[in-house]
């Protein structure tokens, strides 16, 4: 309970205290988008890292060596929680923008921060605006700015991935930018699974894996049609591996508690739940 209250207070204070700075960044962004993006990203990465610490989120990150540093990329991840953005934002090298729902553009202060990070807002109810957003994303990739997309389009409320939307792969095939699959496990435990109680009251262990790049340049039509299945298959396999990593993390925690005299291997009395390891991430169907 105390952890949740402190985190909410931090978020409110951060938004209020940084309001004057946010106005300056917004004006700066009009004149020099890249410079304003770097400063905005640094500030928000610090804030996000503080939130992770306050709520007791522990990140297990794998595969950072799979991220090329010399070109713009399209990150494609499974989407289970609002916390997915909070755990990926500080990790991405180079300028990277997210694609978010149009509804977020109506939230005061938050929408301005998102604009400073060059977030592209998608209106799923308007085909023309959706096409315009796709063209903006392609142009952004051409200027060396990476994009993070959740091809499901919205959060899945179960352990199964939702159908992928075709617009994500149009951006990939038209731009020729490589796709980096990003498998995120256990993120809903940090927020949604705690409702209707006050969120952020239990510790969580999130496992985040970056997969090898999937090249999209110079693909023929048949290969382009296979892209959604290829990405989905990669994510499913990575999520399965994340489950194995979770088992290792749970075993390591139990051994540490046993060594500290707090539990026995047969009856851990620890609290795997408090450590965010009470239920392993479920592998998603291919």
**pLDDT confidence of 199, banded at 50, 70, 90?**
low
Q: How many helices and strands, by DSSP H and E, does the chain display?
A: 8, 7
**pLDDT confidence of 144, banded at 50, 70, 90?**
very high
Please name each of the domains of the chain with its CATH number: 2-241 (3.40.1130)
Q: Which residue has the higher pLDDT, 148 or 203?
A: 148
Encode pLDDT of 104-125 as tens digits: 888 888 889 998 999 999 887 8
Q: Which residue has the higher pLDDT, 173 or 188?
A: 173
Q: What is the Cα Rg of the chain in Å?
A: 20
Encode pLDDT of 87-110 as tens digits: 899 999 889 999 988 888 888 888
With CA atoms as reference, report the closest residue to 274 among 193, 204, 200: 204
Predicted local distance difference test score (pLDDT) of residue 108:
86
State yes or no: pLDDT of 160 exceeds 90.
no
**Mean pLDDT across the chain, nearest whole number?**
82
Two structure tokens written together for 90:
């500080």
State yes or no: pLDDT of 201 exceeds 80.
no
- Percent of the chain at pLDDT exceeding 90: 40
Encode pLDDT of 36-48 as tens digits: 999 999 999 999 9
Which are the contacts of 263, defined by CB distance < 8 A and separation ≥ 6? 254, 257, 269, 270
With CA atoms as reference, report the closest residue to 277 among 207, 212, 201: 207
**pLDDT confidence of 173, banded at 50, 70, 90?**
very high
- The pTM of the full predicted model, rounded to 2 decimals, is 0.82
State yes or no: pLDDT of 181 exceeds 90.
yes
Query: Exposure string (b/e) for 44-71, b if CB count within 10 Å is 16 or more?
Result: beebbeebbebbbbeebebbeeebeeee
CB 14, CB 49: distance < 8 Å: no
**pLDDT confidence of 233, banded at 50, 70, 90?**
very high
230 three-class SS:
helix
Encode pLDDT of 12-71 as tens digits: 999 899 999 998 998 998 888 889 999 999 999 999 999 888 888 888 999 999 999 989
Mean pLDDT of 194-205: 64
Predicted local distance difference test score (pLDDT) of residue 271:
37
């Amino acid at each position: 309970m105390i952890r949740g209250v402190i985190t909410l207070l931090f978020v409110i204070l951060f938004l209020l205290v940084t309001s004057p700075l946010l106005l300056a960044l917004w004006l700066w962004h009009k004149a020099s988008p890249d410079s304003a993006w770097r400063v905005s990203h640094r500030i928000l990465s610090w804030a996000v890292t503080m939130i992770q610490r306050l709520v007791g989120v522990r990140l297990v990150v794998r595969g950072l060596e799979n991220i090329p540093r010399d070109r713009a990329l399209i990150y494609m991840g499974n989407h289970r929680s609002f916390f997915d953005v909070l755990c990926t934002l500080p990790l991405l090298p180079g300028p990277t923008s997210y694609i978010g729902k149009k509804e977020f553009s109506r939230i005061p202060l938050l929408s301005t921060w998102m604009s400073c990070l060059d977030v592209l807002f998608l209106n799923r109810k308007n085909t023309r605006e959706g096409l315009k957003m796709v063209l903006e994303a392609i142009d952004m990739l051409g200027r060396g700015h990476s994009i993070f997309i959740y091809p499901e389009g919205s959060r899945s409320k179960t352990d199964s991935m939702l159908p992928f939307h075709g617009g994500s792969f149009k951006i990939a095939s038209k731009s020729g930018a490589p796709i980096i699959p990003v498998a995120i496990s256990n993120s809903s435990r940090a927020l949604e699974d705690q409702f209707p109680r006050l969120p952020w009251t239990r510790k969580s262990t999130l496992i985040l894996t970056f997969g090898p790049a999937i090249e999209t340049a110079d693909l023929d039509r048949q290969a382009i049609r296979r892209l959604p299945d290829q990405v989905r298959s990669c994510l499913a396999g990575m999520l399965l591996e994340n489950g194995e990593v979770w088992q290792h993390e749970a075993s390591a925690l139990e051994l540490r508690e046993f060594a500290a005299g707090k539990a026995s291997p047969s009856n851990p009395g620890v609290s795997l739940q408090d450590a965010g390891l009470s239920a392993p991430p479920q592998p998603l169907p291919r």
